[in-house]
Amino acid sequence: MTMCCETANKVPTNIALDVHAHLIPVGHEPFPLFSGVDWQEGKLTIDGHTVGLKKIYDVEALTSWMTEYSVEEAYVSLPPPVYRQELNEADSRQWFGYLNEQLLAQCELHNSKLKALPHLPLEHPQLALEIAREYGSKGIPGFALAAGGPNTPVYSADELDEVWQELNKQEAFVLIHPGSCCDGRLKAFYLSNLVGNPYETGVAVSHLIFKGIPSQHPNIKFCLVHGGGVVPMLVGRWCQGFETNRPGVDSSLETPDKAIKRFYMDCITHSADAVELTAKTIGQERIMFGSDWPFPMGFVKPTQDMAEFPEELKLAICNNRPDQKVELQ
């Protein structure tokens, strides 16, 4: 059995799985021409925004970090700067056709440590379905999706029904990651990340639960980043909406406090109190280690970042994997 990254006597051991690491898989071959995208001096400029964090392009930097912190395996997904949710379907097909293939190829170079989570552009549901079907036979653990952002349908939209059916058939791990927050009030003070990211996760999950999708498709392993965002604080309020038959709420569905226990969440809360609330909400066996590597809002120094977590919970986080059998509470 894998033991935690740091036990009570400060002996370093291992983290079984990081479910939330990122990579932009470019720069290792001549970069193809895409409208709105420029690759110069080791950096991508995408629709006017330069992604300057050099490690995000370097798979060797990721595996070196994993070795340094004894992370045995990582699920790797594309980061939000490359989601490009305003692309039309033809351009999105070309863009994610390239990036998903490159992500898979780079992870296969380190296949004992890295597993790719191809991105499904839900703003084009039929394209997302095609990608899910194409990659479902390639031995990957699952996929990554954007929560929120321009043109992305709400998760309860009927046009996504076939996507959920396919992911359920595959018993896929599905990482739900915030896209770009469209609320103009959050442009100042980095609030689009500090508030917008956890908020968008809450909106996405509320649409899943209030339509009954987790119980209708119980084989999908939905995983929420950033400790579930605002979700752990909202479950009680959602339940009150069920119990009092608020307008538009179908109270015949599985209640939110039961539905949320079908989800997984990572541990990136930046607060011992918050991670304990997450554990109480879904059960500590469903909290996974996530780093958000290499971004500074993540847990890129696990020993330090989890230092204040309760020891028992820390042990669980470092050992938990979504492919372990977990009974629904």
Asked if residue 276 belongs to a domain, the reply is yes
**pLDDT digit string (tens) for 154-177?**
999 999 999 999 999 999 999 999
Asked if residue 329 belongs to a domain, the reply is no
**pLDDT digit string (tens) for 121-153?**
999 999 999 999 999 988 899 999 999 988 888
Domain of 120 in residue numbering reads as: 22-319
Q: Which amino acid, residue 39?
A: W
Average pLDDT value for residue range 2-25: 71
Average pLDDT value for residue range 243-263: 95
Asked if residue 81 belongs to a domain, the reply is yes
Asked if residue 50 belongs to a domain, the reply is yes
> Per the structure, how many domains does the chain have?
1
> Which CA distances in Å does 32 have to 42, 46, 84, 189?
14, 13, 16, 35
Under 8 Å between Cβ of 20 and 269: no
What does the pLDDT read at residue 76? 98
What does the pLDDT read at residue 150? 84
Average pLDDT value for residue range 7-13: 45
Q: What are residue 145's phi and psi, to 5 degrees?
A: -130, 155
What does the pLDDT read at residue 139? 86
Asked if residue 167 belongs to a domain, the reply is yes
Share of the chain above pLDDT 70, in %: 95
Q: What does the alpha-carbon distance between residue 305 and residue 328 come to, in Å, rounded to a whole number?
A: 29
Place of tokens 């420029």: 38
What does the pLDDT read at residue 10? 44
Helical segments of 26-124, H only = 59-68, 89-108
Asked if residue 328 belongs to a domain, the reply is no
Q: Is the pLDDT of residue 102 over 90?
A: yes
Place of tokens 């990579």: 23
Question: Which residues make Cβ contacts (< 8 Å) with residue 176, sequence separation at least 6?
Answer: 144, 145, 147, 201, 204, 205, 222, 223, 224, 225
Q: What does the alpha-carbon distance between residue 229 and residue 218 come to, in Å, rounded to a whole number?
A: 22
Q: Is the pLDDT of residue 8 over 60?
A: no
What does the pLDDT read at residue 1? 44
Q: What are residue 214's phi and psi, to 5 degrees?
A: -60, -40
Asked if residue 1 belongs to a domain, the reply is no
Q: Give the least confident one: 13-27, 110-124, 208-222.
A: 13-27
Residue 22's nearest CA partner among 102, 122, 117 is 117
**pLDDT digit string (tens) for 18-77?**
999 999 998 666 678 898 998 888 889 999 999 989 999 999 999 999 999 999 999 999
Q: Is the pLDDT of residue 324 over 60?
A: yes
Label residue 192 left, alpha or beta by phi (over 0 means left) and psi (-120 to 50 means alpha). alpha
What does the pLDDT read at residue 308? 94
Label residue 213 left, alpha or beta by phi (over 0 means left) and psi (-120 to 50 means alpha). alpha
Q: Is the pLDDT of residue 115 over 90?
A: yes
Q: Is the pLDDT of residue 6 over 60?
A: no
Asked if residue 82 belongs to a domain, the reply is yes
What does the pLDDT read at residue 27? 66
Please tell me the pTM assigned to this model.
0.93
Under 8 Å between Cβ of 103 and 23: yes
Under 8 Å between Cβ of 18 and 291: yes
Which CATH number covers residue 167?
3.20.20.140
Helical segments of the chain, H only = 59-68, 89-108, 125-135, 161-170, 191-194, 196-211, 213-216, 231-243, 256-259, 272-282, 302-305, 311-319
**pLDDT digit string (tens) for 186-201?**
889 988 889 889 999 9
Structure tokens at 298: 């993540």
